[in-house]
Amino acid sequence: MSLVGKKAPSFKVQAVVANDQRIDIELSQYEGKYVVLFFYPLDFTFVCPTELHAFQEKLEEFEKRNAVVLGCSIDSCFAHIAWLNTPKVKGGIEGIKYPLLSDIHKSIAESYGVLKSDEGIAYRGLFLMDKHGVIRHQLVNDLPLGRSVDEVIRTLDALIFHEKHGEVCPANWQVGKRGMQPNELGLVEYFQS
């Protein structure tokens, strides 16, 4: 089920941030910012910490683009805290600074269509929302397939470019490359150049 082009399902949930702080997070508090919401299956697993650290390594890049990163799993805040207190060299996520949402009731994963109900965990779903809370990009990977954070940034850059210039971004578009007008003439001019 695609949510692209639709208002993102709202939520209000507890989350954990650095220094073991538990906070309440409501999606609506990010109005005016881009939001990258990504789901991962479970704390203390194997592909998941590589993804969480990859997002942390690029967190400054997201912030430069007025974007927030939110991680979400079905684990409790207590499990998040325990994992945050586990060193990276031991498979932990010590050093992660962005919020980790606790979807213990599985309602967020279900509303975003990424709940793997037979196991009670989420697929590796990723949702990019514009500054008005509309989902503009959605990606869902099966459990063994990690994501590319660089591709998330490229997609965010493409959205920002489109909003700023009104042009669309062809395949493999990168910052500094040409966009094109969203019509037949734009396509012809793009292929001719």
- As annotated, the active-site residues are 48
Answer whether 39's CB lies under 8 Å from 125's CB. Answer: yes
Main-chain dihedrals φ then ψ at residue 104, nearest 5 degrees = -60, -25
Answer whether 38's CB lies under 8 Å from 51's CB. Answer: yes
β-pair type (135-141, 100-102)? unpaired
d(CA 188, CA 193): 9
Tokens standing for residue 102: 């606790």
SS3 128: strand
Using the 8-state DSSP alphabet, how is residue 28 labeled? G
d(CA 94, CA 85): 5
Query: Amino acid letter at 30?
Result: Y
The tally of CA atoms less than 13 A away on the side-chain side of residue 127 is 29
Cα 82–chain centre separation: 22
